Amino acid sequence: MNRRLVFALCLLVAACASTPPPPAGAQDLAIEIRSSSLPFKIDDPAATRVGRLIWRGGVAMTAKSPHFGGWSDLHVSPDGRALTAISDEGAWLTATIAYDAKGDLAGLGAARIGQLRGLDGRPIESKAEADAEALTRLPDGSWLIALERRHRIWRYLTLDGTPTPVEGPADIGRQPANGGLEALAVLPDGRVIAISEEYSRRPGTVAGWIGEPAPGGRYVWRSFDYATLPDYRPTALAVLPDGSFAAVERAFDMVRGVRCRIVRFDAAQFQPGATVRGEELAHLASPYAVDNLEGLAATRGARGETLLWLISDDNFNPLQRNILMLFELAP
C-alpha cells in the first residue's frame, strides 16, 4: 500500500472517530512538549525549498496530555519568541519557541494548556460548543476566536478568561456545520477579515467578510468572494509584515491524500463586493512535509526576512501528527 493511501486512510479513521478527548479543565497546566526533527522532503534530504518558500525547520510534537492536539490556528508574537494556539476541542496552548544555532525552528518549551471558557465563565465541555477554528489578536491585545458547528465569534481579553460575544455577519449561520469560519485576520487599523471554509454564494468561490470596527465593540460586516480551485478550501489567513496577506488552502481525497497551497494576496483586493484571487507561493504534498494544515502565522525574522509558521490538526488520531513548520518567504 503506498504512503499516500495509508495517509488517506488515517484521515478517514480520524473523520469517523467518535470519542473526543475530555475538556482540558478549569485550571491551566504545565506540559512538556517533546519535539522531533521533521524531514522536509522524504526522498531528498538536501532539499531546502518548495516554490517561493525556504525551509527553516520543522518539528513533530507530542505531549503526555490527552488534550494536546487538534491545533486549528496559531499566533506567533512579533519577536518570534512565543506561540499561542487553539484546538478544535476548545483547548488553548502557550509556549516559548526554541531555535538552533542557525536560527531555524528547534521546538517548543515552557508550555501551558487550558480550556476556553464559555459565556457563563465555565470551561466549554461539548464538541458542538468548543470547536474553535480561527484565532487572531486585536490591536489592543485581546483575541477574536471563531467557532463552528454553532457558528459564532467570541472576544477574549485573555484566553483563560470569560469571553464576550461579537455579532458576526448576518449570514454566518448559513454556513455548513463543519465548514464555517476557518480563516481570520486583523489589520493594524482594526478591520477584521473572515473567510468561510465551505459556505458559497457563487460557483468557484467561498464567502468572505470585512468587519469595520464600530462603537461598543461591534463590527459592520461587508461581504466579498474568495476564489477557490477545485477541491481546495481556505483553512487559515495571516497578515504578512509588508501588509499583504497569506492563506493556506487544503485539499484531501482518498487517492492523493492531503495537499496544501500557500497563497498570497495584496491587501487592496479585500474590498466589499470584490472577488479575491491569490498567487500561489508553494504547493505542499507528499513527499514534502505535509499534514492537515489548519493554522498560519507570519512574523519578521532577525535579518528582516518574512517568516511563515504552519501548524497541523492531528484530529487526535495516533496515526497523524501535530507538526509545526517554519518557512522563509523568498524575495
> pLDDT tens, 265-310?
999 999 999 999 999 999 999 999 999 999 999 999 999 999 999 9
For the record, the C-alpha cell of 153 comes out as 465569534
DSSP per-residue codes, 211-242: EEEEGGGEEEEEEEEEE--TT-EEEEEEE-TT
Q: What is the pLDDT of residue 25?
A: 63
Radius of gyration of the chain (CA): 18
In the structure, what pLDDT confidence band is assigned to residue 15 with cuts at 50, 70 and 90? very low
Neighbours of 222 (CB within 10 A): 15
pLDDT at position 17, please? Answer: 45
Q: What percent of the chain has pLDDT over 90?
A: 87
Mean local confidence (pLDDT), 33-61: 97
With 60 as the cut, is the pLDDT of residue 5 above it?
Answer: no
DSSP state of 278: P
The C-alpha atoms of residue 158 and residue 163 are separated, in whole angstroms, by 8
Output the DSSP codes for 142-200.
-EEEEETTTTEEEEESSTTS--EEE---TTGGGS-TTSSEEEEEE-TTS-EEEEESS--
Q: Torsion angle, CA of 176/179/182/183, rounded to 10 degrees?
A: -70
**Per-domain residue ranges of the chain:** 3-329
Is the whole-model pTM more than 0.85?
A: yes
State which H helix or E strand residue 288 sits in: none
- State which fold the 3-329 domain adopts: Neuraminidase (2.120.10)
What's residue 3's pLDDT? 43
Would you say 83 and 75 are in contact if contact means Cβ atoms under 8 Å apart? Answer: yes
**CA distances from residue 192 to 54, 117, 138, 148, 310 in whole angstroms, order as listed:** 29, 23, 9, 17, 21
Residue 83 belongs to what H/E stretch? strand 82-87
Q: Which residue has the cell 478591520?
A: 191
Q: What CA–CA distance (Å, rounded) separates 252 from 85? A: 23
**Cell numbers linked to 34:** 517533546
Q: Which pLDDT band holds residue 127 (cuts at 50, 70, 90)?
A: confident
Q: What is the pLDDT of residue 24?
A: 66
pLDDT bin (cut points 50, 70, 90) of residue 254 is confident
Hunting for cell 520543522 — which residue is that?
58
